[in-house]
């Protein structure tokens, strides 16, 4: 589904953040990417989602046979790539429902499915709301405006559930969540698991992995994947900390 080869990326100021990432994610798999602050985790997520401000200097990213880096951010999303933001953006004046319907219909057009009218959309929304324990009132507000940290993260997962992406990239979706919210979010992610879909979870902590069991765990350090393994690697990191990586790297 996703094949990243020797990916190098730098910021506009010239600082190189990704220094040769190789990563293959197959349909049906969940990968976790762990690593200390500044290792390049969020840059990787941003590069995959098409955020501005990075320059790709080397390497390639192939998604479902297409050159992902050739697509704009919105094209990627319509092709089924979803980024759950570490810091969901507040957009005053844009109603959450209006926003989500525009997004869903854009994705549906791409898939050759008919657009949903307001009534059909509301029906679809209600079915997913329950899943994530989100009140309908949240949807009547402007996108993320006045949402608590937990509400924002839940809203991300709710959007993911509505848009049904093929490849979900979760950028520290677990950070700042209390245990109940974490369970709800994990439940939402687990519900999305299927042989046709894949997910990349970026996280600092093993905690999320207790609820969403990854197939592969990677450790990112200084812009490279320095170790990959099964979920026991996460447990090892949790007890030894990231410091030991310096020896490996």
Interface with another protein: number of residues (CB under 8 A): 31
Closer by beta carbon to another protein, 106 or else 129 = 106
Q: Which DSSP string corresponds to 193-249? A: --TT-EEEEEES-SHHHHHS--SEEEEEETTEEEEEESTHHHHHHHHH-GGGHHHH-
Closer by beta carbon to another protein, 18 or else 83 = 83
Exposure string over 93-104, b if 16+ CB within 10 A, otherwise e: eeebbebbbebb
Query: Applying CB under 8 A, does 50 fall inside the site for another protein?
Result: yes
144: left (phi over 0), alpha (psi -120 to 50) or beta: left
Q: In 3D, which of 1, 118, 139 has the Cα closest to residue 68?
A: 1
Cα–Cα distances (Å) from 21 to 11, 27, 87, 217, 243, in that order, read: 16, 19, 24, 14, 20
Binding range to another protein, per CB under 8 A, among 33-41, 70-78, 131-139, 211-219: 70-78
> Minimum distance from CB of 115 to another protein (Å)?
13
Applying the rule CB under 8 A, the residues between 140 and 179 that interact with another protein are 142-143, 159, 163
> Minimum distance from CB of 92 to another protein (Å)?
7
Query: Applying CB under 8 A, does 49 fall inside the site for another protein?
Result: yes
Query: Applying CB under 8 A, does 107 fall inside the site for another protein?
Result: yes
Closer by beta carbon to another protein, 115 or else 246 = 115
> Minimum distance from CB of 95 to another protein (Å)?
9
Q: Of these, 27, 71, 103, 138, which contacts another protein (CB under 8 A)?
A: 103
Applying the rule CB under 8 A, the residues between 72 and 101 that interact with another protein are 72-74, 76-78, 82-83, 85, 88-89, 91-94, 98-100
Closer by beta carbon to another protein, 89 or else 243 = 89
Exposure string over 226-239, b if 16+ CB within 10 A, otherwise e: bbeeebebbeebee
CA 12/CA 53 separation, integer angstroms: 6
Query: Applying CB under 8 A, does 69 fall inside the site for another protein?
Result: no
Cβ atoms of 61 and 25 within 8 Å: the answer is no
Query: Applying CB under 8 A, does 51 fall inside the site for another protein?
Result: yes
Closer by beta carbon to another protein, 110 or else 228 = 110
Helix (H) or strand (E) segment spanning residue 74: helix 73-78
Q: What are phi and psi of 81, to 5 degrees?
A: -95, 130
Contact residues toward another protein (CB under 8 A) are 49-52, 72-74, 76-78, 82-83, 85, 88-89, 91-94, 98-100, 102-103, 106-107, 110, 142-143, 159, 163
């Amino acid at each position: 589904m996703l094949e990243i080869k020797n990916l190098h990326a730098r910021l506009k100021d010239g600082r190189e953040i990704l220094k040769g990432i190789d990563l293959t994610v197959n349909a049906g798999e969940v990968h976790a990417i762990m690593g200390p602050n500044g290792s390049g985790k969020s840059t990787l997520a941003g590069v995959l989602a098409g955020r501005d401000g990075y320059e790709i200097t080397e390497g390639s990213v192939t998604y479902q046979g297409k050159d992902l880096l050739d697509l704009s951010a919105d094209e990627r999303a319509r092709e089924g790539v979803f980024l759950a933001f570490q810091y969901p953006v507040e957009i005053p004046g844009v109603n959450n429902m209006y926003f989500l319907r525009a997004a869903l219909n854009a994705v549906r057009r791409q898939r050759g499915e008919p657009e949903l009218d307001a009534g059909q959309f509301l029906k679809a929304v209600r079915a997913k709301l329950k899943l994530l324990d989100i009140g309908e009132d949240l949807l009547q507000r402007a996108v993320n405006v006045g949402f608590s940290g937990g509400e924002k993260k839940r809203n991300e997962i709710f959007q993911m559930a509505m848009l049904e992406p093929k490849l979900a990239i979760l950028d520290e979706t677990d950070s700042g969540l209390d245990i109940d919210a974490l369970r709800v979010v994990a439940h939402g992610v687990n519900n999305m698991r299927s042989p046709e879909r894949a997910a990349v979870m970026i996280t600092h902590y093993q905690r999320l992995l207790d609820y969403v069991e990854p197939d592969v765990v990677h450790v990112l350090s200084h812009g490279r994947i320095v170790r990959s393994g099964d979920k026991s690697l996460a447990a090892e990191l949790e007890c030894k900390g990231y410091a030991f990586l310096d020896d490996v790297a």
